[in-house]
Structure 1
């Protein structure tokens, strides 16, 4: 039995742009290099408007949303979970619950087909997991714990931080870092590594 290593990937920024479409296109180009890419992607989004919630619900039907900040029952003090079906609420009722967040695995095809139209002005992140061709675990059939691509819309931190105007593409590699691999991947999209490795997934 193979035991997968513990720890986090290292994420190298390889593109920053104010053009969300360009960031997504270049992330997809890097995805083409992945072996054993998963059929789902991890999607996170901060949603401040009804339109944004409707957009995410359209590409991730039936999946749950949550409150962006903790809310408590005024009578009991218990924490409240958002457990409503957003598609069953009219716009006025849905607006009362904003802002919301979304953080789930979603079918890759659905995200790739619809995320740009669904994006709003909040921070959002799409993560593709797979294996780089030179991964030392190439003889096993599960994706690497570390390898993959991430595009952060309106952010410059792999772990998600403050809002920025720019969108950032990261390549994720081994927990020890692999600058030569990151440089090679950046060159594939005509770019270069733009900063120090960050803590990844």
Structure 2
């Protein structure tokens, strides 16, 4: 979502509830992108198998780069997760992926597949103009993101809860974020983060 500012507006320990609230906010966007961004870090064999069942075509990568001992090039993850033995898959972990899918195709299944690692669903669009707060929508920056098992949009601070963010203008737009949070019966829960 460009270099937006993202405000946390909802937290819960229930992944489905976080996704439901993100969808409520997404419904308020005036325009919606056709694609959704999915990201996840897979820490266990079970997590990897659940996610591969949802996204078999995603390009899974090592979280920490590995070197091929022969070529000294970066090693690529090459196992087929759904077919690999546990004993072969476990030493390959943790894995991650960044994948784009058509909106409305696999998001609910993705939420149910989220395991112990951090994960994210990003929904981009454009907020409607709001004369009351002098806020103007921007298709470059606006959107909703839910971060599972974390509380930052950089995907670097694991947590025991899930956080819903609203993305707004690159300079920030606290009044818009406050109005959006109020739609959930919430408030802005922290400072803006670079999205």
- Could you tell me the TM-score, scaled by structure 2's length? 0.89
> What is the rounded CA distance, in whole Å, between the counterparts of 2:157 and 2:2 in structure 1?
24
CA shift in 2, pair 1:161/1:76, >3 Å: same
- In the alignment, what sits opposite 1:161? 156
Gaps of 5+ in 2: 130-134
Aligned to 1:34: 29
- Gaps of at least 5 residues in structure 1 are 1-5, 138-142
Give the Cα separation in 2 of the matches to 1:125 and 1:49: 17
How far 1:7 sits from its partner (Å)? 5.8
Contact 1:60–1:110 (Cα < 8 Å) also in 2: no
| Residue 67 (structure 1) shift | 0.7
One of 115, 121, 138 as aligned partner of 2:116: 121
How does the TM-score come out when normalised to structure 1? 0.86
Residue in structure 1 matching 2:20, options 20, 25, 32: 25
- Cα deviation 1:121-178 (Å, max 9, x = unaligned): 11111100011111746xxxxx811000011111111111121112111000000111
Q: CA RMSD in A?
A: 2.0
Q: Determine if contact 2:145/2:166 at 8 Å carries over to the other structure.
A: yes
2:142 corresponds to:
147
Match of residue 174, structure 1, among 169, 178, 183: 169
* Partner SS state of residue 126, structure 2: coil
Could you tell me how far 1:14 is from its partner in structure 2? Answer: 0.4
